[in-house]
């Protein structure tokens, strides 16, 4: 699995550009990605919740 890269300058620019948008009692998600197979298994595991 590739490593995670964090750029604090880009994070600040993205936050100022997009912000974190709240709509009433919900948070607006700016972007999403498809769940990985192991995440699907975790989320769909009936024993967890």
Is 3 domain-assigned? no
Is residue 29 one of the residues assigned to a domain?
Answer: yes
pLDDT band at 37; cut points 50, 70, 90: very high
Q: Pull the structure tokens for residue 1.
A: 């699995």
pLDDT greater than 80 at residue 41: yes
- Is residue 2 in a domain? no
> What token pair was written down for 2?
């590739």
For 23, the domain range is 8-48
| Positions of E strands within 1-49 | 22-23, 26-27
Structural domain count of the chain: 1
21 domain-assigned = yes
> Is residue 44 over pLDDT 60?
yes
Distance of alpha carbon 48 from alpha carbon 43, whole angstroms: 8
Is residue 6 scored above 70 in pLDDT?
Answer: yes
Q: What is the dihedral of CA 31, 36, 38, 42, to 10 degrees?
A: 30
Average the pLDDT over 10-31 and give the result: 74
Whole-model pTM above 0.85?
no
CA 36 to chain centre: 13
**Can you tell me the mean pLDDT for 15-42?**
77
Considering the domain boundaries, does residue 15 fall inside one?
A: yes
């Amino acid at each position: 699995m590739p490593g995670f890269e964090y750029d604090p300058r880009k994070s600040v620019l993205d936050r100022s550009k997009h912000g974190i948008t709240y709509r009433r009692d919900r948070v607006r998600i700016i972007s999403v990605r498809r769940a990985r197979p192991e995440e699907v298994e975790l989320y769909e595991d009936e024993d967890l919740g």
